[in-house]
Amino acid sequence: MPTINRNGVNIFYETYGEGPVVLLTHGFSATSKMWNDQIDSLSSDYCLVLWDMRGHGSSDYPEDINLYNEKETIEDILSILDKLNVKKANIGGMSLGGYMSLAFYNQFPERVDSLIIIDTGPGFKNEDARNNWNNYAISTAEKFELSGLDSLTGRSKEMDPKNHLNAKGLSRAARGMLTQHDDRIIRSLEKISVPSLIVVGENDKPFLASSDYMERKIVGSKKVVISDAGHAVNIDQPETFNQTVREFLSSK
């Protein structure tokens, strides 16, 4: 099982196919398995890199809460690219993974060839809105602490409790990675200068407005709303999603 080790924390990743690199990051409490329906389609012409964020899936679940944050996450992505000797990649992700992709670009723009942002919010300028989000993140952590992996039952399709070792890592990730502390990322959107694809499911109501906002702020970006799809747009409509991503990658 391929891994990188950063300061004693093993991070799991897999690669499929050859060609220009497409690295995709899953959403909170999902794993790299959420991209199973993308493997055959994208790996036929690209090197698809999938990985599990710390506290998720087959990566380690460190006990130190200070090891769960935006900085550690984007440095995990950087380390995977370095391990694969990839100087520049198409970087994308869903929900929290999309936010971390924007954060990665903000920190390492020279390593990004394009962005693929899926069912994602770019953060908050309004402090009250950010506090409300953080209250949600903390309440999510508390549910994992109270009910364990059972709290994933009946939630969005990509959140499969069978894919995680325990709920402790997810609780720490909710407190350290899902919470937000400033408006750097949302205010950085206008600085993005690489081709950018924004994808959202038409039924993913909480993220429709944020997708519109990103389309307005990211110069030259392309937004695609996929019909009959919710938050897990790539699972709900895999063929349409795969075609959308392939058309974007081939035309940029």
Task: Establish if 47 belongs to a structural domain.
Answer: yes
Task: Establish if 84 belongs to a structural domain.
Answer: yes
User: Which residues, listed in sequence order, are joined to residue 25 by a DSSP beta bridge?
Assistant: 51, 93
> How far apart, in whole angstroms, are the C-alpha atoms of residue 173 and residue 65?
8
This prediction's pTM: 0.96
Task: Establish if 129 belongs to a structural domain.
Answer: no
Task: Establish if 176 belongs to a structural domain.
Answer: no
User: Residue 14 is part of a domain; what is its CATH number?
Assistant: 3.40.50.1820
Torsion of CA 89, 92, 96, 100, to 10 degrees: 30
Could you report the per-residue pLDDT of 55-107, keeping only the tens digit for each? 999 999 999 999 999 999 999 999 999 999 999 999 999 999 999 999 999 99
Structural domain that includes position 80: 3-123+182-251
Q: How many residues does the chain have?
A: 252
What six digits make up the tokens of 87? 């100087």
Domain count, the chain: 1
Task: Establish if 135 belongs to a structural domain.
Answer: no
**CB contact set of 132 (below 8 Å; sequence gap of 6+):** none
pLDDT bracket for residue 233 (50, 70, 90): very high
> How far apart, in whole angstroms, are the C-alpha atoms of residue 115 and residue 191?
13
What six digits make up the tokens of 36? 């199973």
**CB contact set of 192 (below 8 Å; sequence gap of 6+):** 102, 105, 115, 218, 219, 221
Does 154 score more than 90 pLDDT?
no
Helix H or strand E encompassing 136: helix 127-147
